Structure 1
Amino acid sequence: MSEDLMSCRHRRPSSPSSVAPPDDDDLLWEILLRLFPLPSSLIRASAVCKRWRRLVSDPGFLRRFRARHRTPPLLGFFSVSGGFSFTPTLDKPDRIPAARLTLPAHSNDRCCFLGCRHGLALHLNRTRQVAVVWNPITGNRRCVPFPPGTGFVLNAAVLRPTGNDDGQLIPFKLVLLCNNYDLGPTFARIYGSEPDKWGNVIAAPAPWIPTTRPSILVGNTLCWWIGEGDILGLDLETRSLALINKPAGLTSKCAFQILRTEDNGLGLAVLSGLCIQLWKANSDGAVTWVLQKTIELDKLFSPEPLVGRVGTTILGFAEDANAIFLLWDAGVFMIELESLKFRKVSESTRGFPCYPYASFFTAGSQVGEEEAVFGYFVPADQGGGQE
């Protein structure tokens, strides 16, 4: 055996601790940008040394990190079963404790949770006549009083003008769907946090009444489920309300869930018995529907046991993850509609709506607190044992 080969065999690899971090900040910046956008990634990186902590806490780095990954991870879902609560869906060490995302509520007020989008959550306080826009990661909130002449708020939605989760609370847009307590025509009002102003009334030609299900954002249109499966769409560019009819032949005995398809189109999940039909809307002047896929739940979930014979129900839809939340006999499951991968996310067998929450949880979210949550506590004034 040659000396070179013997030398290679007996040479020990360098210890990870003996390898010095890159000296060039620009190079290190580019490396850190490529970390997975999971909650623990940047927190672990910030624990390496002061220099790494400084880089991953830099606002410019965090903006580029979010922009590079674009789609934030699905952290879990909110629900109102037995009180307002958060259920995490990620595994450790990325699993965020439920108590970490808790909304302080006024126990005597009539409040209604209406969903999440772009890292923000929204609920209405009907007692105080305000909409509360809340960033669950930072805890920042803004109360927006209902405008004069609002009437009864049927539903609402929040979104960012840029469509990105930038970790901030402002700017945002708030949309209210209302009527005048008398089943009169539905109308919408749009609020912009910058410049803190409500727009004009957007009237609909018929008295449509949306449910309290959260809206789905498809392109520039907010869509709400109404009546027996039809869809009310608010075009945010043209500022107009329109009705989109459900696929012909479907009855009120079916359960419906509006979807946003992979190509950012309008879709519909129709649950009937133990089958889910996935429809896609084709718009060429008039909307027509095409059946794309049928999911047979009893085959998909086998060999999951049927335990309590709980009625199967669609509980919610995660826009960015293209996944539905479904109540099945053994609990709540999340199904990715493209791959049909599924997993149980809750043991609950109560059919309350799920409000999926996706956001970037980074080292700059709440410096000095988020590290302790995941067991990687690093004092804010030290950042790590090495320079």
Structure 2
Amino acid sequence: MSSSRRRRRLSPPPQLPDDAIRDILLRTPPDDPRRLVRASLCCKPWRGILSDPVFCRTYRELHRGTQPLLGFIHNKGSAAKPHHCVLVPTTSFRPPGGTHRRNWIVLDSRHGRVLLYSFPPKPDIEFVVWDPITDEQCRLILPDFTHGSWSATVLCATDGCDHVDCHGGPFLVVFAGLDRHAFASVYSSVSGDWSDTVFVDYPDTAMEQYLGMEFTRFMDSGLGFTLLHGKTIYFPCNMSNRILEYSIAEKRLSVIDTQFHEYYQWHAVLVAVQDDGVLLFAGLEDSALHVWSREAGEDGAVEWAQRRVVHLEMLVPRPGCSRTPDWDGVSGGLLVGSADGVVFLSTHAGSYTVDITSGRVRKLTNMRFTDKIIPYSSFYTLGTDN
């Protein structure tokens, strides 16, 4: 074989145009940032494409319906050990500032941000809004009227934002609570101050016995976690048969009765708000997950109706959910969070996700019995933390 023929055979294939490479990289699944990092190490032209802000923006827009779960956050600590929250990565993502936040506990997470609360409480009772990807932190002080049972959440404040890339933009912290009346206030990062407090007189005899007790400081530690639907936030209250509904646009606060407090006690969560505004609620009794929806009945009155029951005894391995009472009367499982139609279940066998529509159960971690699981979802590309 002649040397000329050998050279022709060994010659590299024609190089793809940059536009074709860009289209291929745009279709890389977003569920693990490691794929894009590895692609950036192939050659300088690929790294140039992947680090281009236009590419990063286009990538997030293309995959906006599949914003990846980068990890989940839970609280740790006891009377003998300092309280802290931990971000447990479910992908190759690692926060630049580390996964632990000592003396802080997590309240909520939304739009790429995490809301933390100082614990043990400081005299000025601080919040921190934390971006795990950029490690940016913003501290703020709670309103002066902090009392009773309360909760809070964080969300993007950019009008018309599609929440594909909220990093570094303005945000709101919505704070709501319930004692002898319901109240709500909103912090704006633009003004750097809290809004005037909205009060609604709503006597609640169930709350009277808890007022002044330190352990009732949080609403979200029992009856679920906040939900966002459009410009409306739903705050469940674990001390009563109540859900607080706050409209950010209208600055209007309402109180919704659930009638589930004595039935499910602490083992219930708000799960989702459908497009038509119907609230979905899940309660755990023994090893059965009951899903309820708040709908208009035949007479036009709004009421709660049972939608389905998911029997977990055969889906969660032993020791997990069972009908045998355990500590504090808990029958083998606790509902410790929810997100987008999925509830988080913590058991003796570990922590699981349960899809309330399909009934599918997946194991999330071996971590046993935690007080809450907050999912952290966001896009992480080479241009995110620049």
TM superposition score category, shorter chain reference: 0.7 to 0.9
Could you tell me which residue of structure 1 aligns to residue 26 of structure 2? 33
Q: Which residue identity lines up with residue 102 of structure 1 in the other structure?
A: T
Could you tell me which residue of structure 2 aligns to residue 158 of structure 1? 154
Could you tell me which residue of structure 2 aligns to residue 102 of structure 1? 99
Cα distance in structure 1, aligned partners of 2:55 and 2:44: 15
Matched positions, count: 336
8 Å CA contact retained: 2:354, 2:362: yes
Cα distance in structure 1, aligned partners of 2:359 and 2:96: 30
Could you tell me which residue of structure 2 aligns to residue 257 of structure 1? 269
Aligned-pair distance for 1:172?
1.0
Note if 1:78 corresponds to 2:73: yes
Aligned-pair distance for 1:20?
5.2
Gaps of 5+ in 1: 1-13, 368-387
Work out the percentage of aligned pairs sharing the same amino acid. 28
Could you tell me which residue of structure 2 aligns to residue 276 of structure 1? 289
Cα distance in structure 1, aligned partners of 2:265 and 2:146: 31
Distance 1:229 1:61, change over 3 A: farther
Query: Which secondary structure state, in structure 1, belongs to the residue aligned with residue 181 of structure 2?
Result: coil
The 5 A counterparts of 1:145-294 are: 145-147=141-143, 149-152=144-147, 154-161=150-157, 162=161, 164-178=163-177, 183-206=179-202, 211-213=219-221, 214-226=225-237, 227-246=239-258, 251-253=263-265, 255-261=267-273, 263=275, 265-282=278-295, 286-294=301-309
Gaps of 5+ in 2: 1-8, 78-83, 208-217, 327-331
8 Å CA contact retained: 1:229, 1:252: no
Q: Which residue identity lines up with residue 219 of structure 2 in the other structure?
A: T
Could you tell me which residue of structure 2 aligns to residue 376 of structure 1? none
Distance 1:135 1:270, change over 3 A: same
Query: Which secondary structure state, in structure 1, belongs to the residue aligned with residue 47 of structure 2?
Result: helix
Cα distance in structure 2, aligned partners of 1:118 and 1:355: 13
8 Å CA contact retained: 1:173, 1:193: yes
Cα distance in structure 2, aligned partners of 1:219 and 1:167: 16
Aligned-pair distance for 1:96?
3.7
8 Å CA contact retained: 1:133, 1:142: yes
User: Which of residues 297, 305, 310 in structure 2 aligns to 1:295?
Assistant: 310
User: Which of residues 327, 333, 336 in structure 2 aligns to 1:315?
Assistant: 336
Cα distance in structure 1, aligned partners of 2:301 and 2:231: 18
Cα distance in structure 2, aligned partners of 1:336 and 1:79: 20
Provide Cα deviations, 1:167-217, integer angstroms capped at 9, x if missing partner. Answer: 5132111112257xxx44231111222243432222122256761343121
8 Å CA contact retained: 1:150, 1:178: no
Q: Which residue identity lines up with residue 45 of structure 1 in the other structure?
A: A
Provide Cα deviations, 1:249-288, integer angstroms capped at 9, x if missing partner. Answer: 9725472100115646421001111111111222597533
Q: Which residue identity lines up with residue 335 of structure 2 in the other structure?
A: I
Cα distance in structure 2, aligned partners of 1:204 and 1:20: 70
User: Which of residues 344, 349, 354 in structure 2 aligns to 1:330?
Assistant: 349
CA RMSD after TM alignment: 3.1
The 5 A counterparts of 1:113-132 are: 113-125=106-118, 126-127=121-122, 128-132=124-128
Cα distance in structure 2, aligned partners of 1:222 and 1:175: 8
Aligned-pair distance for 1:242?
1.0
Cα distance in structure 1, aligned partners of 2:133 and 2:285: 37
Distance 1:28 1:150, change over 3 A: farther
User: Which of residues 138, 163, 168 in structure 2 aligns to 1:142?
Assistant: 138
TM-score by length of 2: 0.76
Query: Which secondary structure state, in structure 2, belongs to the residue aligned with residue 84 of structure 1?
Result: strand
